[in-house]
Structure 1
Amino acid sequence: MWISRIRTSRAAWPSVLIHDPTLRDGHHAVGHQLDVDQLRAYATATNAARVPVVEVGHGNGLGASSLQIGRALLDDATMLTTVREALTSSKMGVFMAPGWGTSQDLTAAVHLGADVVRIAAHCTEADVTERHLGTARSLSAEAQGVLLMSHMASPERLAEQCALMVKYGAQAVGIMDSAGRYLPGDVIERVHAITEAVDVPVIFHGHNNLGLAVANSLAAVEAGASVIDATARGFGTGAGNTQLEALVAVLDRRGFDTGIGLREVLSAADVAADHLMKAPPSIDSIAVAGGLAGVFSGFKRPVLEAARAEGVNAIDLFLALGQRQIVAGQEDLIGDVARQLKAGSR
Structure 2
Amino acid sequence: MTDAGDADLRLVDMTLRDGMHAVDHQFTPDQMRDVARALNDAEMDVIEMSHGDGMGGSSINYGFAAASTGEYLDAVAPEVTESDLSVLMLPGIGTVEHIELAASKGADICRIATHVTEADISEEHFEYVVDHGMEAAGLLMLSHMAPPETVLEQAKLMEEYGAEAVYVMDSAGAMLPNDVEERVSLLSEELSIDVGFHAHNNLGLAIGNTLTALDAGAVTIDGCLRGLGAGSGNAQMEVLVGTLKKAGYDVNPDFFGVMDAAEDTLLPMLTEDTMPELDNDSLILGYAGVYSSFLRHTRRASERYGVDPREVLIELGEMEVVGGQEDLITDVASRLAEERGGDGAATAEGDD
Matched, 1:109 2:97: no
1:219 counterpart residue number: 212
Per the TM alignment, residue 225 of structure 1 is displaced from its structure 2 partner at its CA by 0.2
Once the two structures are superposed, the pairs formed by residues 65-104 of structure 1 within 5 Å of their partners are: 65-104=58-97
State the one-letter code of the partner of 1:286: D
Q: Is the 1:34–1:276 Cα contact (8 Å) retained in structure 2?
A: no
Q: Is the 2:4–2:249 Cα contact (8 Å) retained in structure 1?
A: no
Once the two structures are superposed, the pairs formed by residues 129-278 of structure 1 within 5 Å of their partners are: 129-270=122-263, 271-278=265-272
Q: Deviations over 1:130-169 (max 9, x none)?
A: 1101110111100000101110000111011101100010
1:289 counterpart residue number: 284
2:322 counterpart residue number: 327
| Counterparts of 1:249 and 1:280, CA distance in 2 | 21
Gaps of 5+ in 2: 342-352
How big is the alpha-carbon RMSD for the aligned residues of Structure 1 and Structure 2? 1.2
State the one-letter code of the partner of 1:308: E
Q: Is the 1:50–1:89 Cα contact (8 Å) retained in structure 2?
A: yes
Q: Residue 202 of structure 1: SS of its match in structure 2? A: strand
Q: Is the 1:302–1:331 Cα contact (8 Å) retained in structure 2?
A: yes
Task: Give the share of equivalent positions with the same residue, in percent.
Answer: 43
| Counterparts of 1:277 and 1:16, CA distance in 2 | 32
State the one-letter code of the partner of 1:217: T
The counterpart of 1:60, out of the listed 32, 35, 53, is 53
Q: Is the 2:4–2:250 Cα contact (8 Å) retained in structure 1?
A: no
Matched, 1:345 2:340: yes
| Counterparts of 2:167 and 2:323, CA distance in 1 | 18
Q: Residue 167 of structure 2: SS of its match in structure 1? A: strand
Q: Deviations over 1:234-287 (max 9, x none)?
A: 001220001000011111111111211111010011121122454531100001
Matched, 1:21 2:23: no
2:25 counterpart residue number: 32
Q: Residue 229 of structure 1: SS of its match in structure 2? A: strand
Gaps of 5+ in 1: 1-5
Count of aligned residue pairs for this structure pair? 339
Q: Is the 2:4–2:247 Cα contact (8 Å) retained in structure 1?
A: no
| Counterparts of 1:282 and 1:67, CA distance in 2 | 26
Runs (4+) of structure 1 moved beyond 6 Å? none
Per the TM alignment, residue 336 of structure 1 is displaced from its structure 2 partner at its CA by 0.5
| Counterparts of 1:335 and 1:130, CA distance in 2 | 33
Per the TM alignment, residue 13 of structure 1 is displaced from its structure 2 partner at its CA by 3.4
Q: Residue 140 of structure 1: SS of its match in structure 2? A: coil
Q: Deviations over 1:195-247 (max 9, x none)?
A: 12211111100000011100001110111000000000000122000100001
1:3 counterpart residue number: none
Q: Residue 160 of structure 1: SS of its match in structure 2? A: helix
| Counterparts of 1:258 and 1:84, CA distance in 2 | 23
User: If the length of structure 2 is used for normalisation, what is the TM-score?
Assistant: 0.94
